[in-house]
Amino acid sequence: MQVSLLKEMVEYQDGSIVSKEIIKKESGTVTLFAFDKGQGLSEHTAPFDALVNVLDGQAEVKISGEPYLVKEGELIIMPANKPHSVQAIERFRMLLVLIKK
C-alpha cells in the first residue's frame, strides 16, 4: 500500500496515448491514460458503464453523437452499450473506471 498522485503515475508521450492499468478484476478495471494533443479513441461501445475523471487538460467525449467538453476536475459517465469516443483538445490525463454489470 502506498499513497500516490494519479497525475504522476502516467506520463505524456509525443504523438501517443499512454495507459497504465491500476486494477484489473472480474468486476471491472481502473486505468490511467495520458493523451497527447490530437490523439483519441475512435467510436466504440462497451458492455458496461465507464466513468471518466479528467485529471488535467481537456477533451471532447462524444456519447451517442453528442459532444461534451470535459476538463480538469470534471467527470462524465459513458453508459453501457452507447457508442462513445474520446478526443484530446489539448494534452490530458484521465482515470477510466469500468464497472461490469
Under 8 Å between Cβ of 9 and 32: yes
57-66 residue pLDDT tens = 999 999 999 9
pTM metric for this prediction:
0.91
- CA–CA separation, 40 and 59 (whole Å): 9
pLDDT above 90: residue 101: no
Domains in the chain with CATH codes: 15-99 (2.60.120.10)
Q: What percent of the chain has pLDDT over 90?
A: 84
pLDDT for res 20: 96
Task: Give residue 24's pLDDT.
Answer: 94
Local confidence band at 8 (pLDDT 50, 70, 90 cut-offs): confident
